[in-house]
Amino acid sequence: MTALTLPAYAQLSDADEVALSDLFRRGTPPNTLRAWERDLAYIAAWKMAAFGRPLAWPEEEKVALRFILDHAQDLAGKPGPAQDVAQELIAIGLRVALACPAPATLDRRIASWQAFHRMRNLASPFAAPLVQQARQKARRANARPHAPKSPRPVTRDMLESLLATCDDSHRGIRDRAMLMLAFASGGRRRSEVTALNVEDIGRDDFRAKGLLWVRLLETKTTRKDQAPKLPLKGRAARAVMHWLEVTGLREGPLFRPVSKSDRPLPRRLASDALRTILRHRLRSAGLPEDYATPHGLRAGFLTQAALDGAPLAAAMKLSLHRSAVQAQKYYADVEISENPATDLLGD
């Protein structure tokens, strides 16, 4: 597949590149930067198609309002300026369909637009009362049931089924260590697992306590100067140590590709490798490869913590959730199913 070539007006200008290269670029996680760049390309293309002009800084309120209105309705079967703009965006590969985008997608693009205003120390047009009101109404009008990031949480029983497919080859030893670390250290995101280096695994307490310390240099909720150290115990710690012992790794990427001849290669796994590995293990366990996603390991950790009666605050210290409301959702699903009121009619 050839790379998509965007028209000039959908690409970052020199001024935008300068803004991204300053404090925001150095102090923002790479995934967030990539999302900002994609969203700004979309917004710039949309404004050129809708108004025939490039983005302005600060942007006009009428432009912000039109952006909300154009993205708060299903444009299929509705000929007009909004549909014409959407068709142009579809033609250059920046929009998929005429259907109304999910409210979360609209919120993310607006958040990116606001972030670029903050970079320039400018007031955002989305702070205007009329624009805020339109945004709230659009969110309510297009609200959708929450779709989980994984069809199912990977709780302990499912994880055990996956681990049972891991043999004693280098690939099996690696996959076992990755899956156990991702689950047992608090439900790590896939990018956090593949970003780990050998130097991030503290082994001083392993011989005496069977304990490893996993240092996360950067996560979605922490910065490099806040790098948390998370404990890894028992079988999970032994699995990681086994991987280190059989490979003899001393530095560099912790988890690496394994060749067809079962030889670890001297490079880092791709950031999405955990998804590929999970799909392979699901198939090997006799399950559909879309039975769960890597986020299922994170959801599974919190769900299992709730099933085992671990306090929410204790689980959050490992998962590194900043929002108790977000983490509580996993506990709420368990608690309501165990509520005695659900058994009022008996079996």
Q: What is the DSSP letter of 264?
A: B
Q: What is the pTM of this model?
A: 0.68
Write phi, then psi, for 92 (nearest 5 degrees): -100, 5
pLDDT of residue 332: 74
Long-range contacts of 325-333 (CB under 8 A, 24+ apart): 327/302, 330/153, 330/299, 330/302, 330/303, 330/305, 330/306, 331/302, 331/305, 331/306, 333/303, 333/306
Q: Would you state the pLDDT for residue 247?
A: 96
pLDDT at 181: 97
The residues spanned by each domain of the chain are 8-141, 156-337
> Which residue do the tokens 């404990």 mark?
231
For the domain spanning 156-337, the CATH number is 1.10.443.10
Cα–Cα nearest to 107, from 73, 136, 80: 136
Neighbours of 158 (CB within 10 A): 20
- Please give the pLDDT value at position 333: 72
8-141 has which fold?
DNA polymerase; domain 1 (1.10.150)
Tens digits of pLDDT across the chain (347 residues): 444 566 666 665 666 666 555 656 666 777 777 888 899 999 999 999 999 999 999 999 999 999 999 998 899 989 999 999 999 999 999 999 999 988 888 999 999 999 889 888 889 999 999 999 988 888 888 776 666 677 788 999 999 999 999 999 999 999 999 999 999 999 999 999 999 999 999 999 999 999 999 998 866 666 666 678 999 999 999 999 999 999 999 999 999 999 999 999 999 999 889 999 999 999 999 999 999 999 999 999 999 998 888 898 999 999 988 888 888 888 877 766 666 666 777 66
* Inter-residue contact 183 to 208 (CB < 8 Å): no
pLDDT at 294: 93
212: closest CA among 245, 189, 171? 245
